[in-house]
A and B are shown apart, each in its own frame.
Chain A
Amino acid sequence: MAKVYGKSQYSIGIKRKAIDNSSIFLKSDAATDTAYQLLPVINVSAPVLNLIESGEIRSNNAGMIETNLDQFRSKKGAFVTLDFELPAEREGIVRLLSNVLQDHTQTGSGPYVHTIQATSGSPLTRPDFDALDSADSTTDGIPSVFDIALYGPAANQDKLITSAVLQNLTMNFDMTDGRLLLSGSFYSGFVNSGFKVGQNLTGGSSAATLMHTDPTEIESYFNTKTLDIAGSATNAVITGVSFTFENNLARVGRDENGDAENYAFGVPSVNITGEISLMYDDNFHDGAANVVQDFLNGTPATLILQQGDGTVGTAGEMNITAEIYSTAVNYDLNADTGAIITIPFKVIQPTASGAVSGTAFKFEYADNKSYTSW
């Protein structure tokens, strides 16, 4: 009888793409002998191959059914995506968020304070993905590109994805689960030569490792949680908040193997959207100059979420600042936990006198992992 495999027998490892001056950044194969760091994936998905497919019935066919000769299918020009869901752990969140926004700066020497931001003084910039650069001279780990290893349940059943970048990432502070949950999808424009099956990675010289042997989950609570009402930061009782980052990553060009020649990033834009649910109470209600009226007027508000005392320095401290613009306001007056206001939003860059001014989105986090070890 054949074996029945469980999802725990599959695992996904990532490793920052090794860059050296002897090979072209994006086009080199994923390493087979590197120590991939395993993602704590709770829902494993197989890679989705989006092949080029076409074909139609041709002449010289007396019947009405297409023949096998009519079909066309090619790995050239294709792309592969890989969906995942995992609980955010202290050692992994910065790696993923900096990858999807391609922004990162680091200070400190342990704990390291990581900042990912889109502000008027430090706007997001499009990365140079095909730069011929060495890892050491790539400042702060950007551009950030991953090789991905998919470990199968038996020898010679592993897969490799090369030069993958997150196309989207959702951070969901799930109050029911209690943890920050991350979901998203990796994208690679290298299918013909870069996507490999039938690998035997466990037999390589470097075994996969856990991101951290004693992981610390990021929990869903905040010491400070304020949203502006008429321009004043006001404490909110939050029952759920999430952010979704989309960078519109897409392959560009076709080389001699039909693989991507570069990636377009943020064309036409990088979109940060989300949803916040907060209690209808003395602070947030239908008053004349309150949150609903603000959003009806099209007034943006500053959302501040902090774990810790606001001065990020201790491992685990987190600050999130976002300028949000409501895309709708919904009520759930029958919620189990009282009347709840839910505000879907998009993050916008504030301006002053017509010029960009202030913070659109800023994420600061302290951990004990330098980007050099990603």
Chain B
Amino acid sequence: MKYKHVKGLQLQKPNNLKVSNAKILELLENKEVELNNKEVAEFESLGVQVKPLNEKPKIKKVKKEE
């Protein structure tokens, strides 16, 4: 799922995080970043707030009747 940064990431030392530097930079630039559950859990343990972006509703494909 994609997330956006809300607050607190700039106070963390990137070297100490398991989240990649590239993702950290993108989050700090207010970009939407794909994070897995472990990465979200690491942020939660530090109180870093990220907000999930609503996934687009999947459009059901209707099978054409033959």
Contact = CB atoms under 8 A, between A and B. Distances in A.
Interface of A: 110-111, 214, 216-217, 307-309, 313-317, 366, 368
A216 B8 contact: no
Interface residues of B, number: 12
Contact of B16 (A214, A307, A309, A317): A214
A314 B16 contact: no
B54 to A, nearest CB: 24
Contacts of A111: 45-47
30 contacts: A110-B45, A111-B45, A111-B47, A214-B15, A214-B16, A216-B13, A216-B16, A217-B13, A307-B11, A308-B7, A308-B8, A308-B11, A313-B8, A313-B47, A314-B7, A314-B46, A314-B47, A314-B48, A315-B11, A315-B12, A315-B46, A315-B48, A316-B8, A316-B11, A316-B12, A316-B46, A317-B8, A317-B11, A317-B47, A366-B47
A216 B48 CA distance: 15
Given A111-B47, A314-B8, 20 more contacts: A110-B45, A111-B45, A111-B46, A214-B13, A214-B16, A216-B16, A217-B13, A308-B7, A308-B8, A309-B7, A313-B8, A314-B7, A314-B11, A314-B46, A315-B46, A315-B48, A316-B8, A317-B47, A366-B47, A368-B45
Contacts of B45: 110-111, 368
- Identify the interface centre among B7, B11, B48: most chain A CB within 10 Å of its CB: B11
Interface in B1-50: 7-8, 11-13, 15-16, 45-49
The A interface is mostly helix, strand or loop, or mixed, namely loop
Contacts of A309: 7
A329 B13 CA distance: 37
B2 to A, nearest CB: 21
The B interface is mostly helix, strand or loop, or mixed, namely mixed
Nearest to B11: A316
A186 B28 CA distance: 41
B49 A314 contact: yes
Interface of B: 7-8, 11-13, 15-16, 45-49
A316 B45 CA distance: 12
A307 B11 CA distance: 8
A214 B14 CA distance: 11
Contacts of A307: 11
A82 to B, nearest CB: 29
Contacts of B48: 314-315
Contacts of A314: 7-8, 11, 46-49
B11 to A, nearest CB: 3
B19 to A, nearest CB: 13
A309 B47 CA distance: 13
Nearest to A216: B13
Contacts of B11: 307-308, 314-317
A109 B66 CA distance: 60
Contacts of B47: 111, 313-315, 317, 366
A330 B58 CA distance: 67
Contacts of B46: 111, 314-316, 368
A258 B13 CA distance: 48
A367 to B, nearest CB: 9
A106 B8 CA distance: 20
Contacts of B49: 314
Contacts of A308: 7-8, 11
Contacts of A366: 47
Contacts of B12: 216, 315-316
Q: Which 3 A-B pairs have the closest CB atoms?
A: A314-B8, A316-B11, A314-B47
